[in-house]
A and B are shown apart, each in its own frame.
Chain A
Amino acid sequence: MSPLRSPTAGPARIEVRGLVRRDDFTLPLDVAIGDERTAVIGPNGVGKTTLLRLIAGLERLESGQLTIDGRVVDDAGSVFTAAHQRSVAVAFQDHRLFGHLRVVDNVAYPLRRAGLNRNTARARAAGYLAAVGLSEVAMVRPAQLSGGQRQRASIARALATPAQVLLLDEPLASVDDQSREALRDLLISTEHRTVVWVTHDPNDAKYANSTLTLS
């Protein structure tokens, strides 16, 4: 395991300066994220998700440069660190759970990739599932979950990923009102990481150290 991957490596500063091509237009970005909790807000289609995908390594810059923790991971040319080699975890808005795995094994997935054996990974995953209130459905498959449960499982999986940067794309959008507060507390309590949180909800943004508005 590379030292980048260690969850104790602490928060990382992210800087994006350059252009990224979207389907229909080119989006200029000039963003520096230094605080532990940054909320990203802005109208639909302004590129919030694209920003997360850039940081995660799922998109490439058209020009410019992207650094994480002072290290260039994308220079729109020869340097490109692939997603799996960046110390980044993502909770996707559309969940993206693995349908062939049980819920607990979905959460254990990043732990298994980090080298834990099956039982240890499952035991730890169970802890994250308990934290998001999904202990009862640990052994079922994602297809049997409700939309809100899937989103919570997706959050648990992102939390379980030992990464310096945690990217959250509308993580509470389809979660019911009762669990929203508890989940928000859970996300905020995340320490030693840089959390980038794309949201529409001004309540989410209130808890951030800083707010980044894209327009």
Chain B
Amino acid sequence: MLMIRLLRAPLPLLVPAMLAVALLVVPLVGLLQRAPWSSLVSRLVDDAVLEATRVSLVVSFSAAGLCLLLGLPLAWVLARVDLPFPRLVRAAVLLPMVLPPVVAGAALLFALGRRGLVGQWLDSWFGVTLPFTTAGTILAATFVALPFFVTTVESALVAQGRDLEEAAAVNAAGPMTAFATVTVPSIRGAIGAGLALSWARAFGEFGATITFAGSLGGRTRTLPLQTFLALESDPESAVAISVLLLAVSLGVLVALRGRWLTR
């Protein structure tokens, strides 16, 4: 049945589509067939891996939360306020998406590191040092994940237009009330999608984290960092952790989509 339905599709679309699926799926199959299935559980029930899992969950969900807290207002401003140089502003917001994560980490270090532009004042005034802390890891993850949330939500806001917000305004809703009671609920699907995307990006984040926040078990070492380290000493474990990463991501994405995106 599926074959018949597929064969009805025009070939110039079908062939690239199949290639795309293969490109996405074959590496995963490669990973899975290399996985040490018999020793999988014992490799994962390992203090270092459990610790990294805990750090990863704390960091990725905090980052997704920060994306919501900071990204939702930002998306609204981008969509609704006539900014000077709108293209430039939008490009700046999107930049972390294309920036190599290691460069992102270096940039964070130059800005918020102990000798950084802002970081030196944080250090000398408040005694706050962000690198090598869980907070720093969350910050790095948020930095790379935020654009995913903002673009998703902004495009939903632009597509929706101002009509409903105007309707709320003439129904005596002030701007904040309109935002909370009309704008946000009517784009909750996009907010859910943005959360899922930014969470996934934060969960898989490696380059910016290792550069900005370092790597210490229980504090800053997330699952991807643990995988990278294991690759140096015990590739089998690295594959096992990758399978775990895959399973957790899949679980959370399915749950988030199920919760947010069905309606």
Contact = CB atoms under 8 A, between A and B. Distances in A.
Direct contact of A and B (CB under 8 A): yes
Nearest to B184: A100
B185 interface: yes
A157 B171 contact: yes
Contact of A82 (B167, B169, B181): B169
- Range class of the B interface residue count: 10 to 19
A84 interface: yes
Contacts of A83: 166, 169-170
A186 interface: no
Return the 8 tightest CB-CB contacts between A and B, nearest first: A83-B169, A96-B167, A110-B171, A100-B185, A113-B172, A90-B170, A84-B169, A84-B174
8 contacts: A83-B169, A89-B170, A89-B171, A90-B170, A96-B163, A98-B182, A109-B168, A161-B170
Given A84-B177, A109-B171, A113-B172, 7 more contacts: A58-B169, A83-B170, A84-B175, A90-B170, A110-B172, A113-B171, A113-B173
Interface residues of A, number: 27
Contacts of B181: 109
A5 interface: yes
Contacts of A90: 167, 170
Contacts of A138: none
B210 to A, nearest CB: 42
Q: Which of B168, B169, B177, B178 has the most CB of A within 10 A?
A: B169
Interface of B: 163-164, 166-175, 177-178, 181-182, 185-186, 188
Given A98-B186, A99-B186, A56 B170 contact: yes
A119 to B, nearest CB: 17
A70 B10 CA distance: 67
Nearest to A90: B170
Nearest to A97: B167
A75 B178 CA distance: 25
A82 B168 CA distance: 12
A114 interface: yes
A109 B186 CA distance: 14
Contact of B170 (A58, A97, A98, A114): A58
Nearest to A95: B167
Given A94-B163, A98-B164, A113-B177, A84 B170 contact: yes
A88 interface: yes
Interface in A145-197: 157, 161, 163, 167
Contacts of A157: 171
A57 interface: yes
